[in-house]
Amino acid sequence: MPDARQPLAEQFATLPQQAEASRLGMWAFLCSEVMFFGGLFLGYIIYRHAYPHAFAVASRETDVLYGTLNTAILLTSSLTMALAVFASKEGQFKEVRHFLIATILLAIAFLGVKALEYTDDFHKHLFPGPMFADAGEPKTQLFFMFYWMMTSLHALHVIIGIGLLSAMTVRSAKNHFSAEYHNPIEITGLYWHFVDIVWIFLYPLLYLINRHS
């Protein structure tokens, strides 16, 4: 693992080459992530089209308050992440750490809210399976299947993000970075913004559409 004493991995010739490679690598990875979530979005769209009424009924069962709160939290965390990347380019690593820790705390807050919401959902029997609360529309289960799959996969990405952010905080504290070598923070930022963007699509799909129809 490259660090401050030896920031250049041996397969690369120069630091800019290494930075460009890892940036492009993260973009390529995010492309594959888009295709991964894409399958779920496709299924959701198809069944929303096939069973509009059932999906409208089901989406009224989700808790818009939790959803909105989480959207606000996650958007704020994208801001703190962007500030961390900005500060790392300026070489101000104390600020970088503060912003990274703020991002981590917001991410934990997001998961906390999500946990509360999941608990409520369980009590309302909204988990697909034999115990499912059949609200008069059998296809509502399909909606909740997508709800659970999409949000739990997203939550898994948030958890991985917390791991990455923590690693960046520790490495920053150990002076592994400099104004010339801060590339890992930047690509962690790319990942984090992706996690945010996925939620930006999930929020209207799961919480907002058809709420008042």
Question: Nearest distance from residue 53's CB to other proteins, in Å?
Answer: 12
15 or 64, CB closer to other proteins? 15
106-110: long-range contacts (C-beta < 8 A, 24 or more apart)?
106/73, 106/74, 106/76, 106/77, 106/80, 107/77, 107/158, 107/161, 107/162, 107/165, 108/162, 109/73, 110/70, 110/73, 110/74, 110/77, 110/158
Q: Which of 71, 68, 97, 66 is nearest to 83 (CA)?
A: 97
Instruction: Tell me the CA distances in angstroms from 106 to 113, 126, 200, 204, one per residue in order.
Output: 11, 27, 16, 21
Question: Nearest distance from residue 13's CB to other proteins, in Å?
Answer: 6
49 or 212, CB closer to other proteins? 49
Question: Nearest distance from residue 156's CB to other proteins, in Å?
Answer: 12
How much is the CA Rg of the chain, to the nearest whole Å? 20
38 or 91, CB closer to other proteins? 38
Question: Nearest distance from residue 154's CB to other proteins, in Å?
Answer: 13
112 or 163, CB closer to other proteins? 163
Residues that bind other proteins (CB under 8 A): 6-15, 17, 20-22, 24-25, 28-29, 31-33, 35-40, 42-43, 46-47, 50-51, 128-130, 138-139, 141-142, 145, 149
Question: Nearest distance from residue 27's CB to other proteins, in Å?
Answer: 9
- Transcribe 33-89 into DSSP letters: HHHHHHHHHHHHHHHHHH-HHHHHHHHTTS-HHHHHHHHHHHHHHHHHHHHHHHHHH
Question: Nearest distance from residue 51's CB to other proteins, in Å?
Answer: 7
CA atoms within 13 A on the CB side of 87: 16
181 or 199, CB closer to other proteins? 181
11 or 213, CB closer to other proteins? 11
